[in-house]
Amino acid sequence: MTKFHISKHGMPAPCKAEKGNCPYGGEESHFNSLEEAQEFIDKRNEERYGLLNSVDERRKMDKHDREKEVADIPGYKKTDEEYDSKDLIEKVQIKGFIAIDDADDPLYYTVILVNDTNIKDMTNKFKSQLIEEGLYNNSYIGIITNKLSSSYSMDLLPIYGSSSRYVTKWFASTFEAAIKNSLRDKQLSLLKRARNYLQINKGR
């Protein structure tokens, strides 16, 4: 049976090490399900940081969906070709994020509402521009992160700051439109990277 440990980025991940050979520790740091591993992380975060952040709350709400997804992994039925943009959009909408690239050391694609709660180091200049363009607290953007959080650095935004103004063309008016924008971004290769993650997970 697949066990789950907590990766170096603080996220639950399926363990594929031989028994007793895992770099993330022994029995005490392995869990029977993704859900159990997540509960351990939530509890530890709660002790460390007090209130649960919004991402954790969302995770709890989607407990059922997450269990369903874990059940899908071992005999993952769809072929890579069948895992399409629509599946990806659906997953991000349900869970708020999707794992990409390497299954052992995943990165995460997530979509955030653009405001200074979600972007912790937003400069006044940037905020002013967003307000002026009607985007502040009124637009969504997809980002790639190595750790899911309740707030992110401006550095993760694909805004390509110019000397006078930030380029905000990737900001979208809805959550779904932000995912679609990301899928259109050739450099990002989001669908390919999400498929890679599933490919590696297949058969576990």
Residues making contact with Zn ion (CB under 5 A): 5, 15, 17, 22, 24
Q: Which is nearer to Zn ion, 18 or 81 (CB)?
A: 18
Report the C-alpha gap between 172 and 180 in whole angstroms.
9
CB distance 201 to 2 below 8 Å:
no
Contacts within 8 Å (CB) and 24+ apart, 120-129 = 120/151, 120/152, 120/153, 121/153, 121/154, 122/154, 123/154, 126/154, 126/159, 126/161, 126/166, 129/165, 129/166, 129/168
CB of 30 to Zn ion, least distance (A): 6
Q: Which is nearer to Zn ion, 8 or 68 (CB)?
A: 8
For helices 63-72 and 54-61, the axis angle rounded to 10 degrees is 70
CB of 196 to Zn ion, least distance (A): 21
Q: Which is nearer to Zn ion, 31 or 152 (CB)?
A: 31
CB of 133 to Zn ion, least distance (A): 46
Q: Which is nearer to Zn ion, 24 or 40 (CB)?
A: 24
CB of 41 to Zn ion, least distance (A): 14
Spell out where the chain has E strands.
3-6, 12-15, 97-100, 107-113, 140-145
Q: Which is nearer to Zn ion, 22 or 89 (CB)?
A: 22
Report the C-alpha gap between 127 and 151 in whole angstroms.
15
Tokens 């994020």, residue located: 97
CB of 7 to Zn ion, least distance (A): 9
Q: Which is nearer to Zn ion, 17 or 71 (CB)?
A: 17
Which residue, judged by CB position, is nearest to Zn ion in the bound state? Answer: 15
CB of 169 to Zn ion, least distance (A): 42
Report the C-alpha gap between 103 and 99 in whole angstroms.
8
